[in-house]
């Protein structure tokens, strides 16, 4: 007796006790025969049986897949993408009946009904939309819930890198979170996590939202600056991840956005996983309580010879290097300092003193105040 004849006998035995649709019947034997179409095999195996009831396993769910296919197409209508994947949630009773049939008739190596439903939906969706099924790294992921007849869509995040130039004082780097949701995203803030766009973060986020849609953004800054500081030259580098984007491609150029200039914004493959080390070229304007002694000012250049020690309240200690330093005396009580420093040096504490050694106030033997400081270059 051939393999196919044995399958016919077992299929007949199953059909005498349980009504099965073409898909569910064919699925039980298609792998054994090396066939790709469960439905066609099911039609052949069931040709001598008339259907009078709903399928014992799926309750004719396969006949209604077009309803869910339309739901999937409607859900993706506002998104641009090339690749997709599909996940499904089915009623436990369907899974239980499928497990019973496979166990009772000792059917090994058979795809579950959930797997088959997912395959059929994926195949139909790909054919209808001309998109590519990708199990590993899809641009959108659709989850079809057959229990409550819903479709959830998850759009893969996009990561950007760029630089910003800040030419106006008074703008903070970070934006305060929406007070209603604390940054998680809600209807009040249109799911952006921020309700205002008045900071560097807010201005850049607003531009990205307009270009790509999406919900929230997550920034990694290469250093930071005071609200009163300028960022000049090539600008400060940053990375930003956009969650749940609608679009995945758009023309990106350098652009003036009110008080900041956005430069070299581009899409990159990965968000940085480790802290990025950098050096900053800084101009600092300093005032003193006492008249400035030129002999003391000359001692400032000796700072480059040894590391600067930074002490934190936690008890930790850090060493920071100053690579170059020059100064310009502006008046009896004011001078400018030009430095190239390692990332992480707290500028105000370095000028005014406060758990930083050496510091400018100690070297000049007078109380100094950091009036403002600007960044001329950030080297990564």
For the annotated catalytic residues, the residue numbers are 226
Contacts of residue 59, defined as CB under 8 A and 6 or more positions apart, other chains included, come to 94
Distance CA 158, CA 269 (A): 8
How many CA atoms lie less than 13 Å away from 129 in the CB half-sphere?
Answer: 25
Phi, psi of 8, deg, nearest 5: -60, -45
- Tell me how many degrees the CA angle 186-187-192 measures, rounded to the nearest 5: 55
Residues ≥6 apart with Cβ < 8 Å to 354: none
- Is residue 195 within 8 Å of residue 252, measured between CB atoms? no
Tokens standing for residue 142: 């659709």
DSSP secondary structure string for all residues of 233-271: EEEEEEEEEESS-S-S------EEETTEEEEEEEEES--
Please tell me the number of Cα atoms within 13 Å of 76 on its side-chain side.
Answer: 27
> How many angstroms separate the CA atoms of 224 and 273, rounded?
19
Pairing of strands 334-342, 322-329: antiparallel
Q: What contacts 335, CB < 8 A, 6 or more positions away? A: 286, 288, 292, 297, 327, 328, 329
């Amino acid at each position: 007796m051939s393999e196919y004849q044995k399958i016919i006998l077992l299929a007949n035995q199953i059909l005498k006790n349980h009504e099965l649709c073409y898909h569910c019947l064919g699925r039980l034997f298609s792998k054994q025969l090396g066939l790709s179409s469960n439905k066609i095999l099911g039609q052949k195996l069931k040709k001598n049986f008339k259907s009078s009831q709903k399928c014992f396993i799926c309750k004719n769910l396969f006949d209604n897949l077009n309803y869910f296919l339309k739901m999937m197409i409607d859900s993706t209508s506002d998104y641009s993408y090339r690749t997709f994947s599909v996940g499904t949630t089915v009623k436990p009773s369907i899974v239980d009946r499928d497990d019973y049939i496979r166990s009772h008739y000792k059917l090994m190596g058979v795809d579950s009904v959930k797997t088959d439903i997912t395959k059929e939906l994926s195949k139909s969706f790909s054919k209808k939309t001309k998109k590519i099924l990708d199990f590993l790294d899809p641009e959108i992921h659709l989850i079809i819930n057959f229990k409550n007849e819903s479709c959830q869509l998850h759009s893969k995040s996009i990561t950007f890198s760029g630089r910003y130039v800040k030419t106006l004082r008074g703008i903070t780097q970070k934006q305060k979170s929406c007070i209603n949701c604390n940054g998680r995203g809600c209807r009040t803030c249109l799911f952006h996590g921020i309700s205002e766009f008045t900071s560097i973060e807010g201005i850049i986020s607003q531009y990205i939202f307009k270009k790509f849609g999406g919900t929230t953004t997550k920034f990694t800054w290469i250093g930071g600056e005071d609200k009163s500081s300028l960022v000049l030259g090539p600008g400060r580098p940053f990375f930003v991840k956009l969650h749940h984007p609608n679009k995945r491609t758009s023309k990106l150029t350098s652009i003036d956005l009110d008080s900041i200039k956005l430069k070299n914004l581009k899409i990159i493959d990965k968000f940085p996983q480790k802290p990025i080390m950098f050096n900053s070229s800084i101009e600092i304007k300093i005032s003193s309580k006492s008249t400035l002694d030129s002999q003391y000012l000359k001692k400032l250049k000796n700072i480059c010879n040894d590391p600067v020690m930074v002490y934190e309240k936690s008890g930790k200690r850090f060493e920071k290097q100053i690579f170059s330093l020059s100064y310009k005396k502006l008046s009896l009580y004011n001078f400018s300092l030009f430095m190239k420093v390692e990332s992480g040096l707290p500028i105000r504490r370095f000028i005014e003193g406060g758990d930083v050694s050496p510091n400018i106030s100690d070297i000049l033997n007078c109380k100094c105040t950091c009036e403002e400081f600007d960044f001329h270059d950030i080297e990564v």
